[in-house]
Amino acid sequence: MSAATATVAPSRAGAPTRAALWKTPILLAVFALGAIVLLVPFARDGSSPFILATRSDLVQLPTLVVPARTTGVVFAVLIVACAIVSVLRAVAGRRTPLWLVVVFAVLVLAGFLVWADAGADRGITVPSLLVGGLSLSTPLIYGALGGVLSERAGVVNVAIEGQLLGGAFVSALVASAVAHPLASAFGESNVNGVAGFLGTIAALLAAAGAGVIVSLLLAVFGIRYIVDQVIVGVVLNVLVTGLTSFFYSAVLAKDAQLLNSPPQLPSLQIPVLSSIPIIGPVLFQGTLITYVMYVAVAAVWFALFKTRWGLRLRAVGEHPRAADTVGIKVNRKRFSTVVIAGAVAGFGGVFFTLGSVGGFTKEVTAGAGFIALAAVIFGRWDPLRATLAGLLFGFATNLQYVLSSIGSPVPGEFMRMVPYVATVLAVAGLVGQSRAPAADGKPYIPS
């Protein structure tokens, strides 16, 4: 991470300004104040049960029942302590470290959960809360990785939504169209066997291909024809929405049995690891796209910051003229990067069709691409931070479902707003410093 941040701000090196230094402490203080209000005067009585075990666990953890009021106060104290540490560091002229912010966020979240869960009959099932959160983050993280790659090379990618949607559509179509005929050829009764597996593989490749096609359009218009990349992105979203909706009605819906009933990705349980309580179900019982995601996050980070390929990519995004001077073909580099980014984002689209029950429906992504874009910005164009942001946003979305299922007083709509409001605050510079790669969105015209 330190390598990442060191390379993020080359053009504005130097000590952080006073204002930048105080942003985080002030924000933490505001949240701490909110936490105190919620957890002390508005504390709710009763106990908050948290179910920790799932059936497949090696050791069955008992259900954790905590007294809501007392625990809330304890959390309030811890939260305030974190905020004070942050303020003290700022007084001493030092930044608030990322880990402190993460700890703070976890504490606030835990305190909030205890408060929201108070008096519930069954309580919150912690593993399913986390599993659902990770699952909903999956497309966001793929989208965000695609966004980070493309924007680091200097091409604004508003078309993530289109890439996800294209991937979702194509994967549903290809998986069904491959799996069903093969299944009958192999004499299998359903698509959960070899035929389904082959169909899935074909679908994964096709989804990446769909993302590539969308990003090729983005590259051709944005780089070759120097059309405003934001406008192209917006238009591409509209185009993909129109095309997939049309094909859905014209093709898929007419023969849904054959063309829109893809096999579902099986859950792959890693032996032993998957039966660790809490961690097991969350991390080691995912589907193929979950595991590929772990690899993809690490790979993108490594490629961006530890390889020559990544150095060149970032050079092209930060200072294309300089990159050109040392012999990097700026537009060619951008072109290839955007194509790879499209493949990554398109791959994420698989989640919407093969990752859950049912096939493709119109506009199935429902704005996930824009949340992914939010994650890119909230994560400051860094793959790891963007992943964290994606996790946060996915978790927030899932929390809303869980809270409404236990009948919590918090309206789900406000939970849904979290990613969007957080991003607005981030770009307004209220949360940390959000700075795009210097040449992001600027076409490069070689002289």
Residues of the shown chain interacting with other proteins in the complex, contacts defined by CB under 8 A: 151, 154, 156, 158, 221, 225-228, 230-232, 234-236, 238-239, 241-243, 245-246, 248-251, 320-321, 362, 367, 370, 373-374, 377, 381, 411, 413-414, 416-417, 419-421, 423-424, 427-430, 434-445, 447
* Smallest distance from other proteins to CB 378, Å: 10
Q: Give the nearer residue to other proteins in terms of CB position, either 284 or 444.
A: 444
Query: Checking DSSP bridges between strand 47-51 and strand 64-67, what pairing results, if any?
Result: antiparallel
Q: Is 55 exposed, middle or buried (0-12, 13-18, 19+ CB in 10 A)?
A: exposed
Amino acid sitting at position 447: S
* Smallest distance from other proteins to CB 428, Å: 4
What distance, in Å, lies between the first and last C-alpha atoms of the chain? 36
Q: Give the nearer residue to other proteins in terms of CB position, either 89 or 329.
A: 329
* Smallest distance from other proteins to CB 234, Å: 6
Neighbours of 239 (CB within 10 A): 16
Q: Give the nearer residue to other proteins in terms of CB position, either 205 or 366.
A: 366
Run of H or E residues at 412: helix 412-427
Q: Give the nearer residue to other proteins in terms of CB position, either 383 or 443.
A: 443
Q: Are 218 and 236 in contact (CB under 8 A)?
A: yes
Q: Give the nearer residue to other proteins in terms of CB position, either 241 or 336.
A: 241
Extended beta strands in 301-395, E state: none
Neighbours of 51 (CB within 10 A): 18
How far apart (Å, rounded) are the C-alpha atoms in residues 35 and 115?
10
User: How big is the chain, counted in residues?
Assistant: 447
* Smallest distance from other proteins to CB 437, Å: 6
Q: Give the nearer residue to other proteins in terms of CB position, either 167 or 419.
A: 419
Token pair of 430 as six digits: 């209220």
Q: Give the nearer residue to other proteins in terms of CB position, either 45 or 413.
A: 413
Token pair of 168 as six digits: 């979702």
CA distances from 193 to 46, 172, 197, 200, 291 (A): 49, 17, 6, 11, 20
* Smallest distance from other proteins to CB 430, Å: 8
* Smallest distance from other proteins to CB 417, Å: 5
* Smallest distance from other proteins to CB 435, Å: 6
Q: Give the nearer residue to other proteins in terms of CB position, either 248 or 301.
A: 248
* Smallest distance from other proteins to CB 413, Å: 4
Q: Are 299 and 341 in contact (CB under 8 A)?
A: no
